[in-house]
Amino acid sequence: MDYSGLGTEMKNSNEVPFESDTAMGWDDEIEKENDFIVLPAGEYPFTVTSFERARFNGSEKMGPCNQAKLRLEIKTDKGTASIMHNLFLNRKCEGLLCAFFRGIGQKKHNEKLKMDWGKVIGATGRAKVGVRKYNDNDFNEIKSFIYPDEQPTQQNKFQAGRF
């Protein structure tokens, strides 16, 4: 099994490891089981809990570029669900970068933004979450971010029986 992607290598003081990075002894006691939660598709509030700078080596569809590896956490009554989300710093993906920064309220519609990665950890927003199947397992993925400046206000939300 390849453990290289666990996120314990830190490249920037603003980054936090994905899991508790504490060495264990051969005879230590363990108890925390894999409490992986798959959410049903829907809209959820999230918090960005980690950010790692990485490098994408390129593919047939896109050239090499910087990559932001994010962990988004969604608190539910069943526990906390974690979703890994990658952003590629390539002009082909500029719209996806804009969507993320709008989703966490750092970018306004039709305005330029210098991406401030130092303010990403702890940022909150809402996202449409989907479920995808990979190797016969279900995983959550971010389908889209919901922009706070476009969310319906209480006054114009539909209410049955009210006109």
In a domain, 13, yes or no: no
pTM of the model: 0.72
In a domain, 3, yes or no: no
In a domain, 15, yes or no: no
In a domain, 11, yes or no: no
Residue 57: give the domain boundaries.
35-146
**Beta carbons within 8 Å of 106's beta carbon, 6+ residues apart:** 113, 116, 119, 123
Please write the tens of the pLDDT for every residue from 24-62: 889 988 877 666 789 999 999 999 999 999 999 999 999
In a domain, 153, yes or no: no
Listed residue (60, 45, 132, 48) closest to 87, CA to CA: 48
In a domain, 89, yes or no: yes
CATH code of the domain covering residue 71: 2.40.50
Tell me, what amino acid is at 80? T
Q: For the chain, how many structural domains are there in total?
A: 1
Question: In tens digits, what is the pLDDT along the chain, a chain of 163 residues?
Answer: 333 343 333 333 344 444 567 888 899 888 776 667 899 999 999 999 999 999 999 999 999 999 999 999 999 988 899 999 999 999 999 999 999 999 999 999 999 999 999 999 999 999 999 999 999 889 999 999 999 977 665 544 555 665 5
